[in-house]
Amino acid sequence: MADSQNKKDLAVARTKITFDVKDMTNHIYGGSTNVEHRRHIIDLIAKEPVFNKDDWAWLNHSDAVKRGVAMSTRLAEIMIEHDLDDLDFAILTEVIDDTIPILQHNSLFLPVIKSQGTDEQIQRWVPPAEKFQIIGCYAQTELGHGSNLSRLETTATFIPETDEWEIDSTTFTAAKWWIGGLGVLATHAVVQARLVLRGKDYGAHVFIVPLRSLDDHKHLPGIEIGDIGPKAYNGFSKMDNGFARFNKCRIPRENMLMRFSKVSRDGVYTKPPHAKLSYGSMVFLRSVLIRHMALYFSRATTVATRYLTVRRQFNNPTSRNDSALNPTLETQVINYPMVQNRLFPMIAQSYAFFAGGSQMTSMYFNLLSGLSSGNVEALAEVHAMSSALKAYATTFAAAGIEECRKLMGGHGFSYFSGLSHLFASAVPSNTYEGDNFVLTQQMARYLLKEIKTARSATPERVTPFSKYLLLGLNKSALSRTTSSVTGAEDWLKPEVQLAAFEHRCARLAFELSDAVDQGGLDLENPKTWSDHNIECYRISHAHAQYVLVLWFIQSIHDAIAEGSADPATIKVLERLSHLHALHTIQTNLADFVEDAYLSPSQCQSLRAQVKALVTSLADDAIGLVDAFDHPDFLLNSALGANDGDAYKRLWDKAQTEPLNQKVVCDGYEEYIRPLLKKHGDIKL
Amino acid sequence: MADSQNKKDLAVARTKITFDVKDMTNHIYGGSTNVEHRRHIIDLIAKEPVFNKDDWAWLNHSDAVKRGVAMSTRLAEIMIEHDLDDLDFAILTEVIDDTIPILQHNSLFLPVIKSQGTDEQIQRWVPPAEKFQIIGCYAQTELGHGSNLSRLETTATFIPETDEWEIDSTTFTAAKWWIGGLGVLATHAVVQARLVLRGKDYGAHVFIVPLRSLDDHKHLPGIEIGDIGPKAYNGFSKMDNGFARFNKCRIPRENMLMRFSKVSRDGVYTKPPHAKLSYGSMVFLRSVLIRHMALYFSRATTVATRYLTVRRQFNNPTSRNDSALNPTLETQVINYPMVQNRLFPMIAQSYAFFAGGSQMTSMYFNLLSGLSSGNVEALAEVHAMSSALKAYATTFAAAGIEECRKLMGGHGFSYFSGLSHLFASAVPSNTYEGDNFVLTQQMARYLLKEIKTARSATPERVTPFSKYLLLGLNKSALSRTTSSVTGAEDWLKPEVQLAAFEHRCARLAFELSDAVDQGGLDLENPKTWSDHNIECYRISHAHAQYVLVLWFIQSIHDAIAEGSADPATIKVLERLSHLHALHTIQTNLADFVEDAYLSPSQCQSLRAQVKALVTSLADDAIGLVDAFDHPDFLLNSALGANDGDAYKRLWDKAQTEPLNQKVVCDGYEEYIRPLLKKHGDIKL
């Protein structure tokens, strides 16, 4: 194949785009100011040698952590030099493209002190932390315990004689574990430990514990400390996830963060006024994860779309085949319907995650401003929504990245595809900030409460995103409901799409409610909540999908209303929104047909419409991923670079492999030659 | 938590097993002789220091390849020392637990010469290869081409003057790429290249090309050669997947393997008598992959089941909760219904893959003996079946391993869980030996031919596993068919289960056939084969699932008939078989309801029955995975070891992390201290 064919293929594909890519980019990021600011931050990082990614592929965990440390300290300097704030920090973490030891200093250590410290404590700890005179981490998880705070084994026992806390890990399962920054970098930790006062256990509280000497960085007496070792898929390799075990370490009483709970000099414990106030930070972390997933997932679809545009394999005699014009060329892989039907719904889903990420973040900030004026009404819904969306989006995005990698065939398995690093960075989100399966119970619990409201004298008090529950009040009517679709074109009506999702959510929620009320379906054992967790999982995902469909549709309505996007942009967004909604139904079809809501012929017209929508996006696929505006530095993919020169880049990257710097490999004299020569020389 | 609790939990779980684990192991591996032989080979490897896995986690690609070379040469010696054959080699590759440079010497280089070389060529090349005086690889894939043999760019041009071939790669996309063993080890390659004779292109043929000097291992003149770099997820890290580019390299005419096609001294080309004869090796490689997947996947379910038995988290007030007896203990995670409903169907699937692997291998060997007596009748069916099963089993197993990892929560993301290495080893099987999506076309094509037979005057000639096609001859009868299930217990009848799968396969096959015949469903463009590939994918997976359900059922019938397993073993196998069949229906429910084959109430009773079956396996889960008989050496998992001592092992592994051998990390003086001290010393 001619060496320049790759680049030519991508250039030709770009001539067919039906909308203005810049306009789409502005729509995705909420305006050109945001787009430029993101680019500015990216450039800030991309130009620094320490953030260069060229040798990442060769680093083992020790080398990678050392690099992570170098990246950490430079990041700290950049934040001070450019006076960057928390929102910039979010972009920085995207751009750096790996977890590094200092991240939790800004994302957990400082926020916890600011939110749970008294004014004096904030004054004492925050300024040196902001100047990086101390570097902190957040130590909650233990070897034996993760989410179950009440069963943490680390204790903080008050010693009245010296006005101190004694931090202790009795067994090694009490060791703090997984703590980012703890392995080699942090000088201090915010430690979650059970507060023990005169023999009484008051549950988990937070304490600032010095870990390493500020003079020589050696760990302090009584603390066993280290790195927990490499992670799956070489993920988080630059992060020093660490462990710490405390052997009766003493800290002053004032090192307990006392904005809410307090312990006085004479050992009197005061309870916090609002137990739920600490929800805020969890809700925030989960809310921003939706946007993170949009960023991650859209990088994967960008790489796959570009590579599949330049990869040619076999011959497909369709009208779209330019090998009709040039018979020496094979078909571009992206022109195969099977490939389009796998890839384009993922592009649509990326757009849905961007729309959902914006909405979820606004919801969170609305909640915050409400809370600050004492309004806690929205807390329960936002908490449930962020849980359901986090569980769904992180599951989908990680699996989708791997699907993009597999779509790229053999070369997708090269490290240089860039997607394995992306998967390894994204997939732990399925587990952290609440395991995705456990988390789905939050939405289910919330909906059960909402069903009570729907059945009460004031059903109008059902919260906006649960209004569909009103459909289920008349059970027999619900079970008789069928979709109004009569032909394939009906599937393109947003109200038809939403009705399907609402019906499904209502049915699943009431089935759960009935099962809980009646004490069971068919099983013999007495029912408990955990016996319903499969149904919780189903309804939570159903709700998340409904909300994402709704928000994607609304975001287009808003853009039309505000006149913030070109008509051509709107047109392709509408196709994406249709594809997102209908492909989600198709993927979860059983939920829509097992109660006969959809008929056999409606299922057929749905499948036909999905296929037609996919086909309609063929000319725009490359523009849709270009619009995500991910520069080559961020993608770090030989196969997905902006110029399309995939084979050349893959070739060039291989030449840099350290093994290739030697003509004869290490181990030849020791292993290979003795084997070859064992039976004497041979001439062939 | 008391340090010994983990071990106690596993020991207690084992007291509840209802069957004899050894009897089950014998059933899985087809008798105690096989079990002992496998153990013997495992011990052979486990006792050799070079195969020790303790430091695998720290190796970068260069270190790993050097280790791979050391493992390779020792493996070669062991094969000679113990006079091991090809079947032993299959066990060896399982036990070594990683791809290493020498593997393709035995699995491809030698078999290709033996099957495609003339008797003289075999006599010349095989003895030195078997003594490892030369070491070979198999070079087919190129940077620009994978499966499409006819478009390979490497050429072998006949030079009559010197009676030689000139092997040439005109552009770098013609470079051989991904070739295992090529990067650093191989001295020779079997190269696929297009044969060019007097300007005419005769398509791909195989040639033996010397790569490296037998004197000093330097690559020969005119060959650019090297390693292609690291792979995704740190997979295949010890394998020197390599590239080679040939610049008009000359080899003697006799280096073309000429059992089938021949070129004489005077440049006359003779065609092969049977073009399809080379199918055999592909069919074999795909057939054995089913068994490989059983071995891989069962390792993942073993690790997950053991860890989740000893991991305790939160409190679940059910009757199975031993925290009722000991209130200081939390609930074993495996006792949560959600966990059981995710894990136990995967255990059942592992058993189904073992049963399917045996059947597929027998089918292949029956084919072989048929072929040797000139009977090619079974070739098409075995080819299609091995394609469909390979596509389904490798997809399912890789995804299932990752699902097991996620089931294990936070610690599942540690390298020491062992499952990330397993996933990285298993997932490339989704792409190699035929991309799983492309491969599904084989079964679809086969079924379309079988439909013609079914519609012919001799419908009885439909092959055994396609008999369900006869159901589709009366289209309206097929569309009116519904399941006979009237209550949950009916789902436990194998004939009911099989009827459901047969109905689904028949419907999907005839829908595809109609679409192909009629030129399309609803789309505007003229139909081509590739427009039907989504439907091909569906019918191929449907057929694979049907056959696996059928074979699992049959394997139990056979065991009963032969009296080869205890009644208690049979009983639990029947539950597994039910769960496998019904969970497969549940997971693919849309296919069974979108034509109203199942009614809403049948769907409900199906779900209830799946739940009940899961519950019924709770006491046996640990026995079912113990029966896979995977020793700790093979599992290489801190969390899944046989003694259950998960936390202790995780702790101990972390202590061996190289980073922890230093009190203060590399980079402190260079990076950390300057940052901490920038604003002067601080006292807190």
Parse chain A into domains and list their residue ranges.
37-273, 281-626
Q: What is the pLDDT of residue A271?
A: 87
Q: Which positions in chain A touch B184 (Cβ < 8 Å)?
A: 659, 665, 667
pLDDT of residue B126 exceeding 90, the answer is yes
Q: Report, as an integer, the average pLDDT of B573-580.
A: 98
- Calculate the average pLDDT of chain B: 94
Q: What is the pLDDT of residue A526?
A: 42
Q: Report, as an integer, the average pLDDT of B120-130.
A: 97
List the one residue out of A483, A480, A477 whose CA is nearest residue A501.
Answer: A483
Q: Report residue B171 as tokens.
A: 């552009």
Contact A558, A8 (CB under 8 A): no
Residue of chain B minimizing CA distance to A432: B410
**Taking the CA atoms of chain B, what radius of gyration do you get in angstroms?**
28
pTM higher than 0.90 for the full model?
yes
Nearest to A682 among B128, B184, B665 (CB): B128
Paired with B188 in beta bridges are B136, B210
Q: What is the pLDDT of residue B284?
A: 86
Establish how many alpha carbons lie within 13 A of residue B373's alpha carbon, considering only the half-sphere containing its beta carbon.
6
Residue of chain B minimizing CA distance to A588: B590
List the one residue out of A51, A225, A60, A45 whose CA is nearest residue A137.
Answer: A225
The DSSP line for A237-295 is TTS--EEEEESSEEEEGGGB--SSSEE-TT--EE--S-GGGGHHHHHHHHHHHHHHHHH
* The one-letter amino acid at B678: K
Q: Report, as an integer, the average pLDDT of B454-481.
A: 95
The reply to whether residue B654 touches residue A171, judged by beta carbons under 8 angstroms, is no
Q: How far is B657 from chain A, CA to nearest CA, in Å?
A: 6
Q: What is the CATH number of domain B281-626?
A: 1.20.140.10
Q: Which positions in chain A touch B321 (Cβ < 8 Å)?
A: none
Alpha-carbon torsion (A140, A146, A147, A150), positive or negative:
negative
Listed in sequence order, the DSSP H helices in A32-183 are: 32-46, 61-81, 86-96, 103-104, 110-116, 119-130
Nearest to A151 among B144, B318, B330 (CB): B330
- Angle of helix A567-587 relative to helix A21-29, nearest 10 degrees, comes to 60
Contact B348, B583 (CB under 8 A): yes
Other residues' Cβ atoms within 10 Å of the Cβ of residue B673: 17
Q: Report residue B328 as tokens.
A: 């200081």
Q: How far is A172 from chain B, CA to nearest CA, in Å?
A: 8
Q: Report residue A459 as tokens.
A: 């059903």
Distance CA B287, CA B281 (A): 10
Alpha-carbon torsion (B582, B587, B589, B591), positive or negative:
negative
Residues 6+ apart with CB under 8 A from B3: A171, A172, A173, B647, B648
Distance CA A574, CA A355 (A): 13
Alpha-carbon torsion (A477, A483, A486, A492), positive or negative:
positive
Q: Report residue B259 as tokens.
A: 């059992």
Mark which residues 573-602 of A lie under 8 Å from B by CB: 589-590, 593-596, 598, 600
A442 touches chain B (CB under 8 A): no
Q: What is the CATH number of domain B108-273?
A: 2.40.110.10
Q: What is the pLDDT of residue A109?
A: 97
Burial pattern A276-309, b for ≥16 Cβ within 10 A else e, equals ebebbeebbbbbbbbbbbbbbbbbbbbbbbbbbb
Confidence of residue B279 (pLDDT cuts 50, 70, 90): low
The reply to whether residue A338 touches residue B132, judged by beta carbons under 8 angstroms, is no
pLDDT per position as a tens digit, A233-283? 999 999 999 999 999 999 999 999 999 899 999 999 998 776 555 556 788
Q: What is the pLDDT of residue A249?
A: 97
Q: Which positions in chain A touch B410 (Cβ < 8 Å)?
A: 141, 146, 178, 431-432
Q: Which positions in chain B touch A682 (Cβ < 8 Å)?
A: 128, 133-134, 214
Establish how many alpha carbons lie within 13 A of residue A415's alpha carbon, considering only the half-sphere containing its beta carbon.
26
Q: Which positions in chain B touch A127 (Cβ < 8 Å)?
A: none
B486 CB-contact burial (10 Å; exposed 0-12 / middle 13-18 / buried 19+): exposed
Q: What is the pLDDT of residue A499?
A: 98
Contact A437, A394 (CB under 8 A): no
Q: Which positions in chain A touch B537 (Cβ < 8 Å)?
A: 338
Q: Which positions in chain A touch B171 (Cβ < 8 Å)?
A: 1-3
Binding-site residue numbers of B are: 141, 180
Distance CA B489, CA B505 (A): 24
Q: What is the pLDDT of residue B325?
A: 55
Establish how many alpha carbons lie within 13 A of residue B205's alpha carbon, considering only the half-sphere containing its beta carbon.
31
Long-range contacts of B561-568 (CB under 8 A, 24+ apart): B564/B26, B564/B27, B564/B31, B565/B23, B565/B24, B565/B26, B565/B27, B566/B19, B566/B20, B566/B23, B568/B18, B568/B19, B568/B20, B568/B23
Helix (H, G, I), strand (E, B) or coil at B18: coil
What are the angstrom distances between the C-alpha of B386 and each of A407, B232, B395? 22, 26, 14
The reply to whether residue A227 touches residue B647, judged by beta carbons under 8 angstroms, is no
- Pick the range with the lowest mean pLDDT from A94-103, B307-316, B443-452: B307-316
Q: What is the pLDDT of residue A676?
A: 96
pLDDT of residue B319 exceeding 60, the answer is no
Nearest to B594 among A319, A402, A589 (CB): A589
Q: What is the pLDDT of residue A278?
A: 56
Q: What is the 3-state secondary structure (H, E, C) of A15-29?
A: HCCCCCHHHHHHHHH
List the one residue out of A500, A527, A497, A523 whose CA is nearest residue A513.
Answer: A527
Q: Are strands A242-246 and A176-179 parallel, antiparallel or unpaired?
A: antiparallel
pLDDT per position as a tens digit, B72-102? 999 999 999 999 988 898 899 999 999 999 9
Distance CA B422, CA A639 (A): 26
A4 touches chain B (CB under 8 A): no
Place of tokens 């001070």: A80
Q: What is the pLDDT of residue A90?
A: 87
Q: Are strands B249-252 and B262-263 parallel, antiparallel or unpaired?
A: unpaired
List the one residue out of B286, B303, B300 whose CA is nearest residue B422.
Answer: B300
Other residues' Cβ atoms within 10 Å of the Cβ of residue B283: 22
Alpha-carbon torsion (A651, A652, A656, A660), positive or negative:
positive
> Hey, which CATH number is domain A37-273, 2.40.110.10, 3.30.1540.20, 1.10.357.10, 1.10.1510.10?
2.40.110.10
Residues of chain A with pLDDT under 50: 319, 321, 323-324, 520-526
Q: Which residues of B are designated catalytic?
A: 433
The reply to whether residue A676 touches residue B134, judged by beta carbons under 8 angstroms, is yes
Q: What is the pLDDT of residue A316?
A: 60
The reply to whether residue A175 touches residue B229, judged by beta carbons under 8 angstroms, is no
Tell me the percentage of chain B whose pLDDT exceeds 70: 95
> ∠ CA(A468), CA(A471), CA(A473), 5° rounding?
125
B123 CB-contact burial (10 Å; exposed 0-12 / middle 13-18 / buried 19+): exposed
pLDDT per position as a tens digit, B183-221? 999 999 999 999 999 999 999 999 999 999 999 999 999
B492 touches chain A (CB under 8 A): no
The reply to whether residue B437 touches residue A342, judged by beta carbons under 8 angstroms, is yes
The reply to whether residue A141 touches residue B595, judged by beta carbons under 8 angstroms, is no
pLDDT of residue B604 exceeding 80, the answer is yes
Residues 6+ apart with CB under 8 A from A268: none
Total beta-carbon pairs less than 8 A apart between chain A and chain B = 429
Q: Report residue A538 as tokens.
A: 């189903």
pLDDT of residue B527 exceeding 80, the answer is no
Place of tokens 């430079």: A74
Nearest to A233 among B342, B424, B526 (CB): B424
Q: How far is B594 from chain A, CA to nearest CA, in Å?
A: 5
* The one-letter amino acid at A520: G
The reply to whether residue A420 touches residue B60, judged by beta carbons under 8 angstroms, is no
Q: Report residue B52 as tokens.
A: 């020790």
The reply to whether residue B217 touches residue A664, judged by beta carbons under 8 angstroms, is yes
Q: Which residues of A are designated catalytic?
A: 433
Residue of chain A minimizing CA distance to B677: A133
The reply, when asked if residue A146 is annotated as ligand binding, is: no
Distance CA A163, CA A11 (A): 71
Q: What is the pLDDT of residue A1?
A: 66
- Angle of helix A5-15 relative to helix A279-310, nearest 10 degrees, comes to 110
* The one-letter amino acid at A553: I
Residue of chain A minimizing CA distance to B132: A676
Q: What is the pLDDT of residue A509?
A: 97
pLDDT per position as a tens digit, B343-392? 999 999 999 999 999 999 999 999 988 887 878 888 899 999 999 999 99
pLDDT of residue B289 exceeding 80, the answer is yes
The reply to whether residue A72 touches residue B537, judged by beta carbons under 8 angstroms, is no
Instruction: Give the dihedral of Cα atoms A618, A622, A627, A628; nearest 10 deg.
Output: 110
Q: Which positions in chain B touch A319 (Cβ < 8 Å)?
A: 525-526
